[in-house]
Amino acid sequence: DAGVIQSPRHEVTEMGQEVTLRCKPISGHNSLFWYRQTMMRGLELLIYFNNNVPIDDSGMPEDRFSAKMPNASFSTLKIQPSEPRDSAVYFCASSQDRGQPQHFGDGTRLSIL
């Protein structure tokens, strides 16, 4: 049974470049979450979709960050332009429904030089 699939696993790029992180949730799950994890700030919820609609994006740091969920099986998190302070591990998670346990992907380790 495939879990949440994220790509790429690692991304190293120079500041100013556009970065796109991808996520495929578990089939049948209707809630999707993007998180950022750093030593300094812990695990931060960036955005939460339910049935492909953004429910809460108050955690998105600034306009450089954007997220889309064009269909139930795919979501992207984009950073443009990227900055060194965006370096972190970005996790995508999905759950069967609102309030249910979340299943996390393996994360994307992003380094902005």
Partner 1 sequence: AQSVSQHNHHVILSEAASLELGCNYSYGGTVNLFWYVQYPGQHLQLLLKYFSGDPLVKGIKGFEAEFIKSKFSFNLRKPSVQWSDTAEYFCAVNAGGGSYIPTFGRGTSLIVHP
Residues that bind partner 1 (CB under 8 A): 31, 33, 42-43, 45, 48, 50, 55-56, 91, 93, 98-107
Cβ 93 to partner 1 shortest distance, Å = 8
Give the H/E segment covering residue 84. Answer: none
Name the maximum alpha-carbon separation found in the chain: 38
For residue 20, the minimal CB distance to partner 1 (Å) is 20
Strand pairing class (74-79; 88-95) = unpaired
Of 13 and 102, CB closest to partner 1: 102
Q: How far is the CB of 14 from partner 1 (least distance, A)?
A: 25
Q: What is the spatial distance between Cα 15 and Cα 28, in angstroms, rounded to a whole number? A: 37
